[in-house]
């Protein structure tokens, strides 16, 4: 991030920091031009690991019937759901609300059961769990907690929204996260298609970076 952009980011944080009774997130809006997102090959569908995380720890839920895996996940603070619990979840509004707010991981063998029991709710919201490959639960939980998922939505408008941190993070950390996201978009759909970039806090007006 160049000095001018970093200055705008610093001013945004300084002007709005601490003005709310909650910690505001820092959100980025990227507008594209010249690319048709209605075409499947052009659609955004990226998992981006932010180098400095999102500034908050999202709850992680792991679907697993494996005892060792489950115990490891619980020791790291994750909640574990067994396959036997799946049929009752769909009708439990409180449980489904928790699922939609959390980061989800699952044993690959359980994915068909999860899709059958919860797919109608999780699928349209792009919240289907990520397959947990191998037994390194610690790395998986750390990675998914730091990751954001950017996808084309609705009528495939040429814009993307994502969180790149919060107001309590150092400006340099947020800047590095912004650079990571823009670096991803520079590869797909391509730097030449990035028309404008805005940053805002949850309750602030947007500031144009690019």
Between CA 152 and CA 160 the distance in angstroms is 7
Kindly tell me if the per-residue pLDDT of 153 is higher than 70: yes
Same domain, yes or no, for 70 and 131? yes
Same domain, yes or no, for 140 and 161? no
Mean pLDDT of the chain: 92
Kindly tell me if the per-residue pLDDT of 20 is higher than 90: yes
In a domain, residue 174? The reply is yes
125 pLDDT band, cuts 50/70/90, is confident
Kindly tell me if the per-residue pLDDT of 145 is higher than 90: no
Same domain, yes or no, for 64 and 29? no
In a domain, residue 55? The reply is no
Residue range 51-80: mean pLDDT, rounded: 90
Same domain, yes or no, for 35 and 16? yes
Same domain, yes or no, for 64 and 137? yes
CB 107 within 8 A of CB 64: yes
Same domain, yes or no, for 104 and 69? yes
In a domain, residue 28? The reply is yes
pLDDT number for residue 80: 96
How many separate domains does the chain show?
2
Same domain, yes or no, for 65 and 127? yes
Same domain, yes or no, for 80 and 110? yes
Between CA 178 and CA 175 the distance in angstroms is 5
Same domain, yes or no, for 134 and 164? no
Last residue of a domain, one of 145, 179, 196: 145
In a domain, residue 200? The reply is yes
State phi, psi for 127 to the nearest 5 degrees: -115, 15
Same domain, yes or no, for 165 and 193? yes
Residue range 62-80: mean pLDDT, rounded: 93
Same domain, yes or no, for 156 and 191? yes
In a domain, residue 115? The reply is yes
pLDDT number for residue 73: 92
% of the chain with per-residue pLDDT over 70: 99
Neighbouring residues of 58: CB distance < 8 A, sequence distance ≥ 6: 101, 102, 103, 145
Helices 137-146, 67-75: axis angle to 10 degrees equals: 50
CB 46 within 8 A of CB 184: yes
pLDDT number for residue 196: 97
Angle among Cα 110, 113, 119 to the nearest 5 degrees reads: 115
Residue range 31-51: mean pLDDT, rounded: 93
pLDDT number for residue 57: 63
Angle among Cα 143, 145, 151 to the nearest 5 degrees reads: 90
The CATH number linked to 203 is: 3.30.190.20
Which pTM value belongs to this model?
0.81
Q: Which two tokens stand for residue 198?
A: 């805005």
- Judge if the upstream peptide bond of residue 50 is cis by omega within 30 degrees of 0: no
The CATH number linked to 66 is: 3.40.50.790
Domain range for 99 is 60-145
What is the SS3 assignment for 47?
strand
Same domain, yes or no, for 139 and 165? no
Give the DSSP H or E segment for 96. helix 93-101
β partners of residue 163? 27
């Amino acid at each position: 991030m160049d000095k001018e952009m970093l200055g705008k980011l610093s001013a945004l944080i300084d002007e709005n920091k601490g003005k709310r009774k909650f910690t505001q997130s820092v959100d980025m809006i990227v507008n594209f031009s010249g690319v048709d997102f209605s075409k499947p090959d052009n659609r955004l569908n990226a998992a981006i690991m932010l180098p400095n995380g999102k500034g908050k720890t999202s709850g992680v839920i792991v679907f697993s019937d494996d005892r060792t895996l489950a115990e490891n996940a619980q020791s790291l603070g994750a909640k574990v759901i067994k396959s036997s619990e799946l049929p009752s979840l769909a009708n439990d509004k409180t449980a489904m609300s928790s699922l939609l707010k959390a980061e989800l991981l699952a044993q690959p063998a359980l994915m068909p059961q999860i899709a059958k029991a919860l797919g109608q709710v999780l699928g349209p919201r792009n919240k289907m769990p990520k397959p947990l490959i191998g037994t390194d639960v610690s790395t998986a939980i750390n990675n998914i907690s730091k990751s954001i998922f950017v996808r084309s939505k609705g009528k495939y408008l040429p814009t993307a929204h994502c969180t790149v941190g919060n107001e309590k993070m150092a400006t340099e950390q947020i800047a590095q996260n912004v650079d990571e996201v823009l670096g991803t978009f520079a590869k797909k759909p391509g730097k030449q298609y990035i028309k404008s970039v805005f940053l805002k806090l949850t309750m602030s007006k947007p500031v144009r970076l690019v």
